[in-house]
């Protein structure tokens, strides 16, 4: 890879402070976004000395999920590297997937006397019931492999198949529509026949065990997938990195990229503690703040503002460590007025001794739209951070 | 296609108000472009609530014709999708081409006693004479097919060949140089031999019929081509669209993209009438205003300013319909000082409830250069419009 050939090892350190769902839209009354509303003296002062821009995580108009949003920030093409639904769910519960495992997203569902699906979600059973049913299914034993069942929320679970020579190219059993029977899982490549056999054997046993548990009397599986094999950040950039993230999915993504993960509490202060204690032993840090996205998803403009202000209050603990490069950005926008992820470009702040300083500024969407880094694909954040850390050599004579 | 997989059908409506040749260059005296000179209170107010940017129709430095300029705006790659000259001319006279038809651009020309071309344009005969000559050629009957002849302006016409199994890969009869004889049309692929036979038979009969009509005593054909088969806007974006355009070529392009077309007068007020009457039955509207381009081509700075002001006066009739998304832009720039199309990027205004508002602004090139949408390929306008209409779902988990 072109970029990797330019990498030079240096002791300089890079911190990615990722505020999930950072970008927003104006409050109808004030005309200012969440970030523009927040009182952020520390971020503003970092911005004044740094460079600003706006990132597009996947492309213009594309609303990214959390996985593609993060993959892009770490320099992976989020369209080329499409992580399957099953793998995402397994990462989300911190299931220790091995290479070769095949994960699928499962639903408990209801089938009628004719075996036709009457409810794909089994009336959205309570999570407690789900946990019970997963315990019922867990002892299922298969010829030629094993299956691991982990409950998610309501009617959702994840199933991970383990065995020799499994591949993930099999069809869903979920027809995505009520009134039809569950479909047999079929292999879409000759190497995936063993996976189809395991999955169908599991489904048959699950049906028998669940018969008396209506409305959750059957299962549907979809999104069969394996861990993608991707070059690690160490291989690509000689980064010895650590992820500080309280949500399992982000820790899973971090492991995929070859980062160490530190267990940390859900408290923001603890995350900054973890950063400080890991600081001397690594040269790359991914600090993930989930709360801004949650507030945005809930449509809680004020809570998102408060979360950003809390990050700002902790920021001096990060700057005191004097990393050579600090990147503050988000994996996507989550405007409270939209109550969900959106396609809007995401504020980006790059801080290093080698920036062309922005000058006095309120860190926010409007300032970033006028910033020197311009409107850039999020995949360019990593090479820019590497350059500002003086970790990229000259190209050509 | 990646984007199509994200499309979700919603009742929201998108209006593309395309002011042909919108972009300009400063008047030498005022230093302001046509758009910056025009008094446009309604566009300015739309811009203040919307997002601005500048589009590149084909690429930096490339001056687009009308077809590539429009194709890009609707999300088609204008370099990959090269529409032949013959097809463009047929669309331009509203000829109802069928799949399999092969169209060619024709010239009346002058040949001398030795059969060498002395004038490729037959002294630019009057259009009235052209119409007469086309009537003379129309009865020509061919073995194995038919030919339709339609006059254009001065010495130009279009010939459309219809028959079984025709393909467009044949060479021009026009050697593009005086002093040479017209060339035989030769097939460049085995499937195109029937086309070459029809074309040569037509040329031989035309030469005989025109012998006494010097200077228009011969014909030259070039740009043989067939209708490209492209996925419609309905297939790609689930858009049920309508085109309101007074010029045949734009209606032809619209039909290619699967839009319905509404016949409308050449008057701008009638175009806005048509929009209002079609509004309830569609979810996508392409309203084409040709006059700005004509004024630019004529080098008439003031007339281009007046045309833009006229659009602005009609704008409240569009906004009153309350479409979820309004896009105001051009297919290319036509600066009056250049008297022709140019490569300069084109002002873009995106208006929706989900924009990060630009704030108070005079809609024009300078404001657009500072806009949040940045400098973007025109092919990105469509995904952005779809996103702002909430017609694109999330990518990835």
Domain end marker among A225, A257, A286: A225
User: Is A147 part of a structural domain of the chain?
Assistant: yes
What are the structure tokens assigned to A337, written together? 């007025």
Q: How far is A356 from chain B (nearest CA, A)?
A: 19
Nearest CB neighbour to A65, from listed B2, B372, B394:
B394
pLDDT band at residue B144 using 50, 70 and 90 as cut-offs: very high
- List of chain B residues whose C-beta atoms are within 8 Å of the C-beta of residue A54: 372, 374
Q: What is the DSSP string of A361-388?
A: ---SHHHHHTSTTEEEEGGGHHHHHHHH
Nearest CB neighbour to B374, from listed A25, A335, A374:
A374
Count of beta carbons in the 10 Å neighbourhood of residue A302 = 12
- Do residues A343 and A60 make contact, with C-beta atoms less than 8 angstroms apart? yes
Whether the ipTM is more than 0.85: the answer is yes
pLDDT at B2 over 90: no
- Distance (Å, rounded) from C-alpha A131 to C-alpha A148? 13
> Are A85 and B397 a contacting pair at CB < 8 A?
yes
- Distance (Å, rounded) from C-alpha A308 to C-alpha A311? 5
In this structure, are A269 and A365 located in the same domain? yes
φ, ψ (nearest 5 deg) of residue B172: -75, 150
User: What does DSSP assign to residue A5?
Assistant: G
* pLDDT, tens only, B212-245: 999 999 999 999 999 998 999 999 999 999 999 9
Q: How far is B383 from chain A (nearest CA, A)?
A: 5
In this structure, are B381 and B234 located in the same domain? yes
Which helix (H) or strand (E) segment holds residue A64: the answer is strand A63-64
User: Is A394 part of a structural domain of the chain?
Assistant: no
Q: How far is B214 from chain A (nearest CA, A)?
A: 57
* pLDDT, tens only, B262-320: 877 778 999 999 999 999 999 999 999 999 999 999 999 999 999 999 999 999 999 99
User: Is B150 part of a structural domain of the chain?
Assistant: yes
Of A23, A62, A365, which to mutate for an interface test with B (greatest number of B Cβ within 10 Å)? A62
In this structure, are A9 and A103 located in the same domain? no
In this structure, are B77 and B186 located in the same domain? no
Q: How far is A37 from chain B (nearest CA, A)?
A: 14
Nearest CB neighbour to B396, from listed A26, A60, A78:
A78
| Residue partners of A203: CB distance under 8 A and separation at least 6 | A173, A182, A185, A219, A221
- List of chain A residues whose C-beta atoms are within 8 Å of the C-beta of residue B392: 61-63, 343
In this structure, are B260 and B221 located in the same domain? no
In this structure, are A327 and A378 located in the same domain? yes
Nearest CB neighbour to A26, from listed B2, B357, B383:
B357
What are the structure tokens assigned to B197, written together? 């036979």
> Are A64 and B395 a contacting pair at CB < 8 A?
yes
Q: What confidence score (pLDDT) does residue A24 get?
A: 98
Q: What confidence score (pLDDT) does residue B262 get?
A: 87
In this structure, are B260 and B315 located in the same domain? yes
**CB distance from A160 to chain B under 8 Å?**
no
C-alpha count within 13 angstroms, C-beta hemisphere, residue B99: 4
Q: What confidence score (pLDDT) does residue A332 get?
A: 98
**CB distance from B4 to chain A under 8 Å?**
no
Q: What confidence score (pLDDT) does residue A264 get?
A: 73
Please report, in tens digits, the pLDDT of each residue of chain A (397 residues total).
689 999 999 999 999 999 999 999 999 999 999 999 999 999 999 999 999 999 999 999 999 999 999 999 999 999 999 888 899 889 888 899 999 999 999 999 999 999 999 999 999 999 999 999 999 999 999 999 999 999 998 999 999 999 999 999 999 999 988 999 999 999 999 899 999 999 999 999 999 999 999 999 999 999 999 999 899 999 999 999 999 998 888 988 998 999 999 877 778 999 999 999 999 999 999 999 999 999 999 999 999 999 999 999 999 999 999 999 999 999 999 999 999 999 999 999 999 999 999 899 999 999 999 999 999 999 999 999 999 999 999 999 8
Q: Domain of B369: which CATH number?
A: 3.40.720.10
Of A228, A229, A227, A237, nearest to A1 by C-alpha is A237
User: Is A153 part of a structural domain of the chain?
Assistant: yes
Which of B:346-385 have CB within 8 Å of A? Answer: 354, 356-357, 359, 370-374, 376, 380, 383-385
Burial B208-244 (b: 16+ CB within 10 A, else e): ebbeebebbbbbbbbbbbbbeebeebeebbbbbbbbb
- List of chain A residues whose C-beta atoms are within 8 Å of the C-beta of residue B386: 61
CA A78 distance to own-chain centroid? 11
User: Is B394 part of a structural domain of the chain?
Assistant: no
Q: How far is A171 from chain B (nearest CA, A)?
A: 18
The percentage of residues in chain B with a pLDDT greater than 70, rounded to a whole number, is 99
User: Is A310 part of a structural domain of the chain?
Assistant: yes
Q: Which residue has the tokens 């590539």?
A: B68
Size of interface A-B (CB pairs under 8 A): 87
Domain end marker among A225, A257, A278: A225
Residue scoring higher pLDDT (A302 or B89): A302
In this structure, are A99 and A149 located in the same domain? yes
Q: What confidence score (pLDDT) does residue A252 get?
A: 87
User: Is A121 part of a structural domain of the chain?
Assistant: yes
- List of chain B residues whose C-beta atoms are within 8 Å of the C-beta of residue A346: none
In this structure, are A262 and A332 located in the same domain? yes
Q: What confidence score (pLDDT) does residue B249 get?
A: 85
The pTM of the full predicted model, rounded to 2 decimals, is 0.89
- Do residues A325 and A12 make contact, with C-beta atoms less than 8 angstroms apart? yes
- List of chain B residues whose C-beta atoms are within 8 Å of the C-beta of residue A67: 396-397
- Distance (Å, rounded) from C-alpha B387 to C-alpha B39? 30
User: Which chain A residue has its CA at the smallest distance from B356's CA?
Assistant: A25
Count of beta carbons in the 10 Å neighbourhood of residue B103 = 29
Q: What confidence score (pLDDT) does residue B291 get?
A: 94
User: Is B396 part of a structural domain of the chain?
Assistant: no
In this structure, are B34 and B148 located in the same domain? no
| Count of domains for chain B | 2
Nearest CB neighbour to A375, from listed B374, B383, B392:
B374
Q: What confidence score (pLDDT) does residue B386 get?
A: 98
In this structure, are A190 and A238 located in the same domain? no
Instruction: Name A51's bridge partners.
Output: A350
| Residue partners of B133: CB distance under 8 A and separation at least 6 | B108, B125, B151, B210, B213, B216
User: Which chain A residue has its CA at the smallest distance from B395's CA?
Assistant: A64
Q: How far is B172 from chain A (nearest CA, A)?
A: 41
Q: How far is B57 from chain A (nearest CA, A)?
A: 16
> Are A65 and B397 a contacting pair at CB < 8 A?
yes
Domain end marker among B176, B202, B225: B225
pLDDT at B105 over 90: yes
pLDDT at B167 over 80: yes
In this structure, are A147 and A123 located in the same domain? yes
Count of beta carbons in the 10 Å neighbourhood of residue B187 = 17
CA distance to A87, B66, B258, per residue, from B231 (Å): 33, 20, 8
* Residue-number span of the structural domain to which B251 is assigned: 3-83+229-388
């Amino acid at each position: 890879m072109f970029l990797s050939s330019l990498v030079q090892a240096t002791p300089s350190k890079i911190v990615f402070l990722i505020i999930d769902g950072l970008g927003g839209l104006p409050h109808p009354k004030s005309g200012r976004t969440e970030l523009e509303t927040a009182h952020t003296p520390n971020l503003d002062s970092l911005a004044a000395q740094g460079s600003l821009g706006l990132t597009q995580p996947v492309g213009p108009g594309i609303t990214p999920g959390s996985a593609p949003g993060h993959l892009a920030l770490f320099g992976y093409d989020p369209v080329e590297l499409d992580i399957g639904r099953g793998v995402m769910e397994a990462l989300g519960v911190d299931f220790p997937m091995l290479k070769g495992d095949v994960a699928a997203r499962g639903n408990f569902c209801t089938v009628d006397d004719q075996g036709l699906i009457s409810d794909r979600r089994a009336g959205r059973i309570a999570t407690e019931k789900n946990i019970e049913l997963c315990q019922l299914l867990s002892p299922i034993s298969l010829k030629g492999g094993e299956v691991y069942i982990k409950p998610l929320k309501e009617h959702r679970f994840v199933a991970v198949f383990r065995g020799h020579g499994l591949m993930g190219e099999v069809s869903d059993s979920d027809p995505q529509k009520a009134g039809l029977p569950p479909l047999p899982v079929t292999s879409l490549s000759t190497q995936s026949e063993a996976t189809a056999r395991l999955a169908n054997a599991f489904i048959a046993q699950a049906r028998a065990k669940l018969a008396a548990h209506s409305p959750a009397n059957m299962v549907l599986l979809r999104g069969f997938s394996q861990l993608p094999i991707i070059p690690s950040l160490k291989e690509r950039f000689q980064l010895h990195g650590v992820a500080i993230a309280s949500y399992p999915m982000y820790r899973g993504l971090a492991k995929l990229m070859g980062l160490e993960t530190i267990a940390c509490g859900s408290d923001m202060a603890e995350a900054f503690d973890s950063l400080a204690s890991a600081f001397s032993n690594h040269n790359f840090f991914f600090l993930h703040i989930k709360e801004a996205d949650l507030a945005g998803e809930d449509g809680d403009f004020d809570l998102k503002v408060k979360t950003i202000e809390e990050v700002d209050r902790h920021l001096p603990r990060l700057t005191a460590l004097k990393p050579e490069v600090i990147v503050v950005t988000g994996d996507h926008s989550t405007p409270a007025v939209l109550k969900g992820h959106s396609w809007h470009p995401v504020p980006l702040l790059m801080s290093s001794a080698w920036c062309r300083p922005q000058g006095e500024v309120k860190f926010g969407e409007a300032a970033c739209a006028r910033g020197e880094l311009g409107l850039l694909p999020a995949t360019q954040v990593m090479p820019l951070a590497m350059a500002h850390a003086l970790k990229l050599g000259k190209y050509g004579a």
